[in-house]
Amino acid sequence: MATKSRLKNMPAQPHKNYGYGTTANSINLPHMPKGPSVTYKPIWENANKTTFNRAESERLAAEKLLEEAKSLIEDARVRVDKGEVEVDVRLKLRTTDVDFWKSELDNKLADIKQEIDEVHNLKIRTDSECRSCIEPINITTQCITFRGGRQGCDLIRDEVDMSLDHELDTCRSSQALLGQTSSQLEEQLRLLRKCKYTIEKEHNEKEMAQQVDAVTKGIKITSLNGKKTQGRSTSVHMPRGGAPVTVSDWMNLTQQNLQRAVQTLEGSFHLRSVVNGILARVASNMKTCVDVSDLAFNRRLSEIRDAKTKLEEQKSETNVKIQEVDDTIQSLERALMAKQGPLASTQAKIQQRKMRPGAELCHDEVDVHLAREHRNLLDIINKLEGGILQAKHCYAGLQKTLLELEDEIAKKANSIYIDEVKCLTLRKSISINMY
């Protein structure tokens, strides 16, 4: 600047005319002899002035460059400091956002883990109740087989048979329903575990992102120790490939995972409610069927016992009648034997009186009375023989009836043994529990 002011204060040099009508720049010098070159004063002055002006321009440009460099350095410092502060603020905000979504994922992950435990326990209960159906099915099937051993008129399709068939159908349908329910619970566990894996994966990624941001936040100029870091990364994780996603996509992905987890949990809650109802209903239906069958058994046993008691009473009375008929037959036979003597005597008298001689062989009152007595004896004997025959027929019928009664009583005893000893004793081991 001082040089510039000096240039302004210098007096302007007038153009001198050397009589040739031209300026110093275009002067035509007279022919000079050859020898060492000679510089004239105007040329020297112009050369000095040109050099001075060029130096002055370079100096001014340098001063301007220095001013701009200082301004650039100051602006760079301010912008770098501002950028570093802005990055720290953005990192802090980003960390806050990641913390928020990570806490949401933590909460949802805890809910999913708890739900997995609940569904797993419910599946164990369902499988246990499904296995518990095996024993009632086997026992009911054995009872149906045992009751096929009834005899005679007892081998009928009674109320007990219908109850056992209904009980068997109920147990089998309950077992099939519980098997399907267990498969649904297994599928729900798969969905929950898949959701848990997704949430854990995203949670771990956010945790890694926090670590990366923490390392990023700790990177300062002083932490580099003044060393160049060309081609070297200070990250705690290896960089991944692929283009980065936008913040909105990042947030949408987390929200979608959380929403999917919420939907999966809601579906699991509904399924658990339905399964608990199924377990209660299955246990109630099976217990009702077992109780109905047991009640039918008891009623049938009461009927069979009553019938057996009546048959035994009838058998006792029949035995008495058989004995009475046998005594009557013996009495009739004795009476018949007792009439053989009078009949022979009467026949002898009639034959003896036929030996009267001549006119004495007349049909007198003695003949009339003897003939009447003979007819009476024959009639009595015939009636006694008919009575004996009827008594023997009655005796045979009573004996046959007695055998039938004994056979029927044995059948009733067999039915009681099957229902009471075999079936009801076996059915005592049936245990219907709601797991």
Domain range annotation of the chain: 101-218+248-304, 314-351+369-427
Task: For residue 292, give the nearest of 109, 165, 417, 393 by alpha carbon.
Answer: 165
pLDDT given at position 239: 52
As a whole number of angstroms, the distance between CA 210 and CA 203 comes to 11
Would you state the structure tokens that stand for residue 355, as one six-digit string?
């030996």
CA separation (Å) from 231 to 228, 234, 295?
Answer: 9, 10, 89
pLDDT given at position 38: 57
pLDDT given at position 9: 44
Task: For residue 166, give the nearest of 251, 68, 71, 291 by alpha carbon.
Answer: 291
Sign of CA dihedral 263, 269, 271, 273: negative
Q: Three-class SS of residue 151? A: coil
As a whole number of angstroms, the distance between CA 135 and CA 432 comes to 10
In degrees, rounded to 5, the angle at the alpha carbon of residue 223 between the alpha carbons of residues 218 and 224 is 125
Which helix (H) or strand (E) covers residue 207, if one does? Answer: helix 159-218
pLDDT given at position 219: 79
pLDDT given at position 24: 40
Whole-model pTM: value is 0.69
Spatial neighbors of 374 by CB under 8 A, at least 6 apart, are 343, 346, 347, 350
pLDDT given at position 229: 47
pLDDT given at position 216: 81
DSSP string, 36-52: S----HHHHHHHHHHHH
Tally DSSP H helices, then E strands, for the chain.
7, 0
As a whole number of angstroms, the distance between CA 171 and CA 335 comes to 72
pLDDT given at position 2: 41
As a whole number of angstroms, the distance between CA 116 and CA 113 comes to 5
CA separation (Å) from 56 to 3, 42, 50, 52, 216?
Answer: 7, 21, 10, 6, 50
Spatial neighbors of 38 by CB under 8 A, at least 6 apart, are 32
As a whole number of angstroms, the distance between CA 112 and CA 269 comes to 11
As a whole number of angstroms, the distance between CA 378 and CA 380 comes to 5
As a whole number of angstroms, the distance between CA 112 and CA 199 comes to 9
- List the pLDDT tens digit at each of the 435 positions of the chain: 444 444 344 444 444 443 334 444 444 444 444 445 555 778 888 888 888 888 888 888 888 888 888 888 888 778 877 877 888 888 888 888 888 988 999 999 999 999 999 999 999 999 999 999 999 999 999 999 999 999 988 898 999 999 999 999 999 999 999 999 999 999 999 999 999 999 999 889 888 988 888 888 787 776 665 544 444 444 445 555 556 788 888 889 989 999 999 999 999 999 999 999 999 999 999 999 999 999 999 999 999 999 999 999 999 999 999 999 999 999 999 998 998 888 888 888 888 888 888 778 787 888 889 889 889 989 999 999 999 999 999 999 999 999 999 999 999 999 999 999 999 999 999 888 877
As a whole number of angstroms, the distance between CA 47 and CA 363 comes to 220
